[in-house]
Amino acid sequence: MTTVGEFMTTRLVTMDGNDTLIAAAQEMRDSAIGDVVVTDGDNVVGIVTDRDITVRGVAENMDPGSTRLNQITTRDVVTVSQYDDAVAAADLMRTYAVRRLPVIDDGRLVGLVSMGDLAVEREPQSVLADISADDPNN
């Protein structure tokens, strides 16, 4: 059995729900990532993606300089353990129609597993795996 911990991303960026959309977008740009985990202290509150900023924020005419992440955060996040089976994690993504799952260990955020991570691990010859394994082009 391949576990989530064998291929999860541990290079995480977390931000507070009171941070602005601009701050999150700049962090995503600077870190070459597409999401930030929104936290309240040590607790995972949700996830915000670059798409969330565009669709839930900018397209809704929210001011990116004053709109807070907690206004557009995807809440009720489904999480996994680093010891969970990778196939089970993929099934959770399919069931809940999500592309990323925070990895929690003893109540603490330790990683993030994405659909791309699963593709690289489970289907290395797939187009998604090929794209996910490439260096960012921005």
- What is the C-alpha separation between 137 and 15, in angstroms, rounded? 24
pLDDT, mean over the chain: 86
Alpha carbon of residue 56 to chain centroid? 16
- What are the distances in angstroms from CA 98 to CA 19, 42, 74, 91? 23, 22, 10, 10
Ranges 45-54, 79-88, 109-118: which has the least confidence:
109-118
Share of the chain above pLDDT 70, in %: 86
In a domain, 77, yes or no: yes
In a domain, 51, yes or no: yes
Q: For the chain, how many structural domains are there in total?
A: 1
How high is the pLDDT of residue 126?
A: 38
- What is the C-alpha separation between 103 and 113, in angstroms, rounded? 7
Domain range enclosing 22? 4-133
In a domain, 138, yes or no: no
In a domain, 40, yes or no: yes
In a domain, 69, yes or no: yes
How high is the pLDDT of residue 92?
A: 92
For residues 33 and 118, the model is more confident at 33
Asked whether the predicted pLDDT for residue 128 surpasses 50, the reply is: no
- What are the distances in angstroms from CA 19 to CA 8, 29, 65, 109? 25, 15, 9, 19
Both tokens assigned to 84: 């969970």
- CATH number for position 129: 3.10.580.10
